[in-house]
Chain A
Amino acid sequence: MATFTPKFRPDRRSLMGGAAAMAGLTFLPRGTMAAEEKKLNFYNWDTYIGETTLEDFNEASGIEVKMDLFADNDELFAKLKEGNPGYDLIVPTNDYVERMIAADMLVPLDHSKIPNMSNLGKNFQDASFDPGLKHSVAYMWGTIGVGYNKKRTGDINASWKHLYDSDQFAGKISLLGDGQNVLGHAMKYMGKSLNSTDMADIKAAEEMLIAQKGNIKVFADDNGQDLLASGEVVIAQEWNGDILQVMAEDDELSFFVPDEGGLIWQDCLCIPKGAPHPDNAHAFINYILEADPGALIADYIQYATPNEAARSKLSAEYNENPAIFPTEETVAKCEFQLYLGEEHVKNINDAWTRVQAA
């Protein structure tokens, strides 16, 4: 940060820089301005930050955060693919972090500007999808599992079978709306990896889904929890955080990660190439990784935080909730989604189109 000098020295650079800053334009090459303007453009998921986090950060640092929302990783990726429209900080999920690294779309992080990284739990000090955390820091993590209405389903064992391979709840089942997750978990149910690129596995998953389609009510894009809460379905494949939100309002609802294992995901804070305020982005990442701000966020959005310092500030009710923090044993059976190349993306999408058209 440059210190403010009251003496007015009108040289060309400061005049132009000043004019540019006043107009909100940055037509000068980056670096010619001594310090970044106090702004940060944050591109985040909906309801995925603490109630007052942005204001608190503004108070602590003077940086004004403007937050835009995206609905899914594809939207985020499509928006940044043709060039960064001005975002400083984004929150992609692990496989998209991998994809964006492969496409050279992320700025390497300067760890010296994020001392609070030491607050991350030991599982989050490194990542298979981003060795050495060169481009990403974990923000929240969770699983995909099964939300169900225990009053209407009765006691059921923790298995994907109820969704994929049984007519017990015919017409009262919803699966997620994206092929990757639906086909991936079908492979998981059959004892394969959800990242299997074997065409025979993908074909088997496709056939199982086509056979089961008559029993499935809907492939719900992002509203399985609403369908469950409104009684439209009794069992739904969903992200744990979504089910947790409706569980808080309805005691009949419950959640498990099946014994076969499921998907484990991690949303990460990353700085996209072309970010106008990378320093502010580092400052915000560091702020989120502090104990109190991190705790406020986690308490509000009820996702699992990787921030151990924040966890120590939170209630046992949060820390010991099995739907938020599955047991180590369950986590061990879960897999990250991997980015396996464009050919695999095409194979999965083609299989998914066939499932829907069948």
Chain B
Amino acid sequence: MEHYRKNPKAFWVLAGPGSFWLVLFFLIPLAIIWVLSFGEKAVIDGKVSITETEITWTLANYTRALFDPVYLKIIWKSIWISALATFMCLVIAYPVAFVISFASAKWKPWLLLAVILPFWINLLIRTYALIAVFRTKGYVNFTLEWVYDAIWLDALFGPYEPLELLYNDFAVIAGLVYVFMPFMVLPLYASIERLDRSMLEASLDLGASQRTTFFKVTVPLTMSGIISGVILVFIPSLGSFLTADLLGGTNAVMIGNVIERQFKTANDWPFGAALSFLLMYVTFGALALRAIMSKQSGMQA
């Protein structure tokens, strides 16, 4: 496309709808939530109002979130859970993306379809399906029990004790990995697909081991896909609440759950707005850190 200065009309015609959409449905609502985070419940006739919020530009919502250790603790835990889920996604998705990208042209579309297929089903239903898989009388325990009995372990150690797979942090991480896996596989696949295979051959020909080739050539060349995948998985995990709600145990609360509750049960939209923005600042911070790091590594190279 031509430079926009040369043909401003075409530029604005093409950019118009998207910009309009972004401003109307993203920037304006976001600005409203941002303003709301500096508000407090209005006091009308000496009573705290249920529905009215007054924008007083108070910082109380932010200080409450930052100085009450309970919220920092939950944010920290959310970061950990999301980071772990993202790492698991990466470790599982990388070989999968590799297999797809090196598969024959006949198989490739089918393998990609298999990755995308779960997207066609609603998140809620997929999460409920995981409950059926993980619960005490679920498919995992059912299969394990069958194997246990089949090899007569029940005669040695007594009857099978079902594994507690559900309602703990393991279930939450497993749920996040399952739900966000395609977000990791697809960017990885795209970057591996672009990988110049002759580079790998050159590396091997020049005497590097498979291992060295992987870490010194393949990984750096697909770094853009890795970073996109990590961002695409980590950020939505950090804000998710459904998975922790349905699969988590008594302490599997994530910051997304706390935010959701502020908008519902607690009826405290200003505080919920402040927590959402804190979460966003954390995300911005992580992205900025990545930008700085990539700049530094760029200078070294």
Contact = CB atoms under 8 A, between A and B. Distances in A.
A357 B267 contact: no
B253 A356 contact: yes
A77 B250 contact: no
B167 A342 contact: no
B167 A218 contact: yes
A219 B250 contact: yes
Contact of B267 (A177, A342, A358): A342
B48 A341 contact: yes
Given A342-B41, A354-B70, A218 B250 contact: yes
Interface string A208-248: 00000100111101000000001110000000000000000
| For the complex of A and B, 7 pairs with smallest distance between CB atoms | A74-B264, A356-B253, A349-B266, A342-B48, A103-B50, A218-B167, A103-B51
B256 to A, nearest CB: 13
Nearest to A179: B265
B265 A343 contact: no
A320 interface: no
Nearest to A343: B48
A232 B135 contact: yes
Given A341-B48, A349-B266, A217 B249 contact: yes
Contacts of B49: 103, 342
Contacts of B216: none
Interface residues of A, number: 36
A77 B50 CA distance: 10
B253 A357 contact: yes
Contacts of B51: 81, 103, 105
B1 to A, nearest CB: 42
Interface in B250-290: 250-251, 253, 257-258, 261-268
Interface of B: 41, 47-51, 70-71, 73-74, 77, 135-137, 164, 166-167, 245, 248-251, 253, 257-258, 261-268
A105 B49 CA distance: 13
Q: Is the interface of A mostly helix, strand, loop or mixed?
A: helix
Given A74-B264, A99-B50, A349-B262, 8 more contacts: A75-B264, A171-B164, A177-B245, A231-B136, A342-B48, A345-B267, A346-B268, A353-B71
Contacts of B251: 213, 356-358
Contact of A218 (B73, B249, B266): B249
Contacts of B262: 349
Contacts of B73: 357
A171 B162 CA distance: 13
A353 B261 CA distance: 9
A350 B262 CA distance: 10
A199 interface: no
A32 B248 CA distance: 54
Interface of A: 72, 74-75, 77-78, 81, 99, 102-103, 105, 171, 177-180, 213, 216-219, 221, 230-232, 341-343, 345-346, 349-350, 353-354, 356-358
A353 B50 contact: no
A231 B137 contact: yes
A213 B167 CA distance: 13
Contacts of B245: 177, 221
Contacts of B266: 345-346, 349
Contacts of A103: 49-51
Given A216-B250, A353-B70, A341 B135 contact: no
B48 A356 contact: no
Contacts of A72: 264
A231 B70 CA distance: 33
A356 B47 contact: no
A353 B262 CA distance: 11
A357 B250 CA distance: 9
Contacts of B250: 213, 216-219, 356
Contacts of B268: 345-346, 349
